[in-house]
Amino acid sequence: MNNRSMRRELTLCVIGLLLITASSAAAQDEIPRSIVDRGRSLYSSLCASCHGENGKGDGPMVPELRAKPIDLTQIARQNNGNFPFWHVFHAIDGRSIPRAHGGPDMPVWGSVPEPIFGNKFPTEEWMVTVTFYIESIQEK
């Protein structure tokens, strides 16, 4: 097995563990604090310039964008009280391209955050933690 295959397998294991831990906590309506904290930190570094520190779509880059970013705190409310976890995850990874993003790469971080973080966070792991963070800021 080459290094790339090993890294992919390890990444999938980490994601699996994150999802198992978070799913079990989600059943109790609580996302583990460590996941939310990691997601908040990554969100602040990678997303807040457009989406705002509180996810309201009011980041400092808004005047430079073609369309105002959505209020991330209203996603569940707009989906009958259900947070569409995988839809949000796919919007982050570029599979579902939000109109304001233009193409499959987010403007600030591109397709992967390695230029910013090095290989410290496997791509899928940081997207999962950011998605859990966004879930945690939903307004009731």
The DSSP annotation for 15-75 comes to HHHHHHHHHHHHHTT---HHHHHHHHHHHHHHTHHHH-TTSSS--TTGGGSSSPPP-GGGT
Mean pLDDT along residues 117-133: 75
Domains of the chain: residue spans and CATH:
3-136 (1.10.760)
CA distances from 107 to 18, 23, 36, 90 (A): 27, 31, 24, 16
In the chain, what percentage of residues exceed pLDDT 90?
38
pLDDT tens-digit readout, 11-28: 555 566 665 655 544 544
Give tens-digit pLDDT for 60-119. 999 988 888 899 999 999 999 999 999 998 888 766 665 555 554 454 555 455 545 555
Residue in the structure block whose two tokens are 């999962």? 128
Alpha carbons within 13 angstroms on the beta-carbon side of residue 112 total 11
Residue 42 CB partners (closer than 8 Å, separation 6+): 113, 121, 126, 129, 130, 133
